[in-house]
A and B are shown apart, each in its own frame.
Chain A
Amino acid sequence: MLTKRENLLETMRGGNPDRFVNQYEFMHMMFHPFMLHNPKPDYKQENVVNAWGVTNSWPEGTPGGFPVHKPDTIVIKDIEHWKDYVKAPGLDFADAEWEPFIKEAESVDRKDQYVTTFVAPGLFEQCHHLGEIQNTLMNFYMYPDEMKELIKYLEEWEMKLAEGICTHIKPNAIFHHDDWGSQNSTFMKPEMFEEFYFDAYKNIYGYYHDHGVELVVHHSDSYAATLVPYMIDMGVNIWQGVMCSNNIPELIKKYGDKITFMGGIDSAKVDYPGWDRETIRREVRRACDENGKFSFIPNASQGLAMSTFPGVYEALSEEIAEYSKEVFK
């Protein structure tokens, strides 16, 4: 039996995997000291201000925290003077703060799993967390120079974060969050994405790849099929969160030798109040049958190894393992 790492590589290379890669099994997900300095709301907690000044709430019955944008809580009040409002939090942490993360990384059997550092929010998300999404989307037209300056500032901060992570934790994968679309469309046209975000991501992901990171896993649980060529060029190895609206079989056919697609099971179809095992079984089998053994990892589209409703993630894993036994006889 192949290790989780070997099986992933065989799946990505179109070789001889001996089972489906089972969701997040190949990643040992880790955090980093900045996350301890960045307050976030707990379940049912409201109006928690994070290290960037962004106010977040996590209302009862919802999957996670969310920025609250009222006139008084939007950080960037005036994009033309964004420098007056956006103050990047510090990233100089004492060795003692890195120590528990270093120890955790050292405890991982890297022949079996990738030490994976979690990074969120991404550049686009950070822009609209700071500036509110509609303002942000309009600012690409109305204030393109200011938006480019802001993105450069965020990129430089992320590069410093990457330097700290690679120096101390030495991960061999990163899991980087940035939602680039809704269920059926990207938030912006591909040319606009290229103009504003491509270079920044190429620099960030390039840095990780140049400093020991073998796998860049990018999360965007959305439609983003039109951005796949950019993903490949900027160094994404696995796109996690790929929703069914993307026509995944077509993407695998076209790009499967360059990037692997992780998802294919829309969370909303399996993760709901009163979820049932039969639906999960059906969805797992459909996803595996439609997308095949190579360049595809069956997984619910939601980011991280979790579900909104208890038991759904585990049931998905069990059904994937079960179906593997039938497909990989």
Chain B
Amino acid sequence: MSKINEVFEAVEKGKVKLVPGIVQAAIDAGDDPQEILNEGMIKAMDSVGAKFSTGEIFVPEMLIAARAMKGGVDVLKPHLAAGAAGAAGKVIIGTVAGDLHDIGKNLVAMMIESAGFEVIDLGVDVPKEKFIEAVEANPDTKIVACSALLTTTMPSLKETVAAINEASFRSNVKVMVGGAPITQEFADEIGADAYTVDAASAAKKAKELAA
């Protein structure tokens, strides 16, 4: 088995303790660091995402795989060209004002990061102004992702997307929304560019939007 395949397998299975050593072994064996990242780790997380979407694996397996990848990226980073780890682009993410739920948002952040993006996580209970400020401070942002888990915070999501839609930078960014009560219809109604049902499809959609 090639070292890159070993990286793939170890990340996919969430071997947190083993991944750094396997990545180092791949580097020592002369594998291209960019290829280790793309073919070994990002592809492994694509596979994890697909298995999560079909119900083959659950949140703990996804979390542990992402943790394993993080350990591998730490080893790989000094060998990559500057910015290569987040080469797919910059994503700003947060749960909207009034909503303290973070797991869905965190899973999306993790899967998007694992897909090769740089993620700026604004946390939970994020006022719309903070989303705007974050994009203004990061003019190279490609995607703003907003989450709401409660029916009671859907209006807050609507206000947040409305504020982004009115901002001068709007044509430079795509807006993604998600959360348990959110539907494609609601996303269309409030003027978001994309809605996805889970973290894995969010990462897939982010790649499409940033392409």
Contact = CB atoms under 8 A, between A and B. Distances in A.
Nearest to A183: B180
Interface string A282-317: 000000000000000000000000001000000000
A188 B152 contact: no
B98 A185 contact: no
B14 interface: yes
Interface in B11-68: 14, 16, 55, 57-61, 63-64, 67
Interface stretch (B76-84, B99-107, B126-134, B166-174): B99-107
B155 interface: yes
Contact of A268 (B60, B98, B125, B181): B181
Contact of A188 (B60, B125, B156): B60
Contacts of A182: 104, 180
Contact of B180 (A59, A140, A186, A268): A268
A10 interface: no
Nearest to B17: A142
B107 to A, nearest CB: 8
Given A138-B64, A183-B180, A62 B59 contact: no
Chain B interface residue count: which class? 20 to 34
A62 B57 contact: no
Contact of A62 (B14, B102, B150, B198): B150
Contact of A189 (B57, B63, B67, B125): B57
B184 interface: no
A40 to B, nearest CB: 15
Contacts of B99: 59, 62
Interface string B146-179: 0000111111100000000000000000000000
A221 B102 CA distance: 18
Nearest to A139: B60
Nearest to A226: B55
B207 to A, nearest CB: 23
Given A59-B100, A69-B102, A182-B180, A138 B60 contact: yes
A66 B152 CA distance: 14
A275 to B, nearest CB: 9
A60 B154 CA distance: 13
A134 B100 contact: no
Interface residues of A, number: 31
A141 B64 CA distance: 8
Contact of B14 (A63, A141, A184, A188): A141
Interface string B172-207: 000000001100000000000000011000000000
A7 to B, nearest CB: 31
Given A57-B100, A133-B103, A134-B106, A63 B60 contact: no
Given A61-B153, A273-B152, A137 B60 contact: yes
A299 B16 CA distance: 43
A272 interface: yes
B106 A187 contact: no
B62 to A, nearest CB: 9
Nearest to A57: B100
A18 interface: no
Contacts of A120: none
Contacts of B198: 184
B103 A134 contact: yes
7 contacts: A62-B152, A63-B150, A140-B60, A141-B60, A185-B58, A188-B60, A272-B151
Given A61-B98, A189-B60, A268-B181, 17 more contacts: A57-B100, A59-B99, A59-B100, A62-B99, A62-B150, A138-B60, A138-B67, A141-B64, A182-B104, A182-B180, A184-B197, A186-B58, A189-B57, A189-B58, A272-B151, A272-B152, A273-B151
Interface of A: 57, 59-63, 66, 68-69, 133-134, 137-138, 140-142, 182-189, 192, 267-268, 271-273, 308
